[in-house]
Amino acid sequence: MSVAAKIKTGMAEGSWIRRMFEEGNALKQKYGADNVFDLSLGNPIMEPPEEFRRELKRPAENPEPGMHRYMENAGYAETRAAVAQQLSAETGLGFTATDIVMSSGAAGALNVVLKTVLNPGEEVIVFAPFFVEYLNYVDNQGGTSKIVPTCKDFLPQPGALEAAITPKTRAVIINSPNNPAGVVYSVECLRSLAEVVRKKESQFGTQIYLISDEAYCKIIYDGLKFPQVVLHHPRTIVLTSHSKDLALPGERIGYVAVHPDCDGKKELIDGLIYCNRVLGFVNAPALMQHIVRKLQSVTVSISEYQRKRDFLYSALTRMGYSMVKPQGAFYLFPRSPVEDEVAFVRSLQELRVLVVPGRGFGTPGHFRVSYCVDDHAIEGSVDGFSKVARKYGLPG
């Protein structure tokens, strides 16, 4: 065998998102790209904002000596200071550059954080539905994922969290706005989760981190203000990236921020910097650090995403699909009209509409629709959704 047994198993299992994406590509080859309506992948169709182009030109036209060299593993001090300033303005907390470690996207950040805090076998609580890579990242860093279901509206329940925490619990991952459900956790929800964590910390004499994955925190609708996770527990580690808010997923730029009042902060941050190095990231991409420094308060057009959400949400609810109206991210997560959502997804696929089965996110019986795609794919999918709705007894 040319690969390790564990890798072979992982490759064979694949991921539902990738599988649908690949099957979609095969359909595109067969029927032509315009005749396939691919709502499977969270790869934003939007181009980065105008300000990004301006910043991209600046280092090309006025290169500074040393701007492509190795740097401190934490990243450029100026970029970290810019991130800290923005976070302080958003949260009212006093972040400084030393609280920030620049990372290779949110995915790199998650691996760095988990490697830094986990002892072998320690547990990380993940609420379902979840971004499926969490399970891989926890496993990468020697931990064990413990999946905790949410209720109908996809908000975590304090009682379920309380029952799941054990003396081995080291972290709870919070992902709001959530991929795939699009829900934004309310202040009350966050407050009650943090209270449970503190109660269990004192019961077991342990330290439990809230790891807040804020990849979608700027993609938020209806004028809602993002409820800050970091305000509820000093042992919070925030991570995010500019993959979604600046539409730069290929550029791999993000960061980790530690609550300014976190216990043992110096050691924790030194650990993050060390792990960024030994995981082989070394540092976040230099050019992108130069660029995003000036873009901390810039985002892609949120109203454009909201328009797409509104169109698809109304179309699907009119057909009889039931779902929570998402307030953030760029996904809908409706209930499948038939229990076996893979059968439903396959029926849609026959009409060249691609979505992802909920079991790919630890929540069977649902399916994920990604609307960060062009209007042609969204509008073209409506007919397929309608026909399959009728097939399964909805008005359609």
Which residue ranges make up the site for ligand PLP (CB under 6 A)? 42, 105-107, 131, 175, 179, 213, 215, 241, 243, 249, 254
Q: Six-digit token pair at 299?
A: 């985002």
Closest by alpha carbon to 215, among 179, 262, 185? 179
- Bridge partners of 241, per DSSP, are 254
Question: Are the C-beta atoms of residues 122 and 144 closer than 8 Å to each other?
Answer: yes
- CA distance to 105, 224, 346, per residue, from 129 (Å): 21, 22, 21
Nearer to ligand PLP, 215 or 268 (CB): 215
Residue type at 152 in one-letter notation: K
Q: Is 314 exposed, middle or buried (0-12, 13-18, 19+ CB in 10 A)?
A: exposed
Q: Six-digit token pair at 201?
A: 């910390």
Nearer to ligand PLP, 131 or 221 (CB): 131
**Least separation in angstroms between CB 211 and ligand PLP:** 11
Nearer to ligand PLP, 213 or 341 (CB): 213
Nearer to ligand PLP, 17 or 319 (CB): 17
Nearer to ligand PLP, 177 or 337 (CB): 177
**Least separation in angstroms between CB 248 and ligand PLP:** 9
- CA distance to 3, 109, 187, per residue, from 369 (Å): 34, 26, 26
Provide DSSP, 314-369.
Answer: HHHHHHT---PPP-BTTEE-PBPSSS-HHHHHHHHHHTTEE-EEGGGGT-TTBEEE
Residue 375: partners with Cβ closer than 8 Å, 6 or more residues away: 308
Nearer to ligand PLP, 150 or 175 (CB): 175
DSSP assignment letter at 335: B
Q: Six-digit token pair at 166?
A: 């054990």
* Structural element, H or E, at residue 82: helix 77-91
Nearer to ligand PLP, 233 or 368 (CB): 368
User: How far apart, in whole angstroms, are the C-alpha atoms of residue 270 and residue 288?
Assistant: 23
**Least separation in angstroms between CB 180 and ligand PLP:** 8
Q: In 3-state terms, what secondary structure has residue 345? A: helix
Question: Are the C-beta atoms of residues 70 and 282 closer than 8 Å to each other?
Answer: yes
Nearer to ligand PLP, 298 or 315 (CB): 298
DSSP assignment letter at 56: H
**Least separation in angstroms between CB 160 and ligand PLP:** 20
**Least separation in angstroms between CB 83 and ligand PLP:** 14
Scanning 228-340, the segments in alpha helix (DSSP H) are 265-278, 286-292, 302-319
Nearer to ligand PLP, 40 or 243 (CB): 243
State the residue for tokens 């304090």. Answer: 158
Nearer to ligand PLP, 105 or 143 (CB): 105
Provide DSSP, 149-186.
Answer: E--TTSPPPHHHHHHH--TTEEEEEEESS-TTT-----
Closest by alpha carbon to 247, among 166, 302, 183? 302
Q: Count the residues in the chain.
A: 396
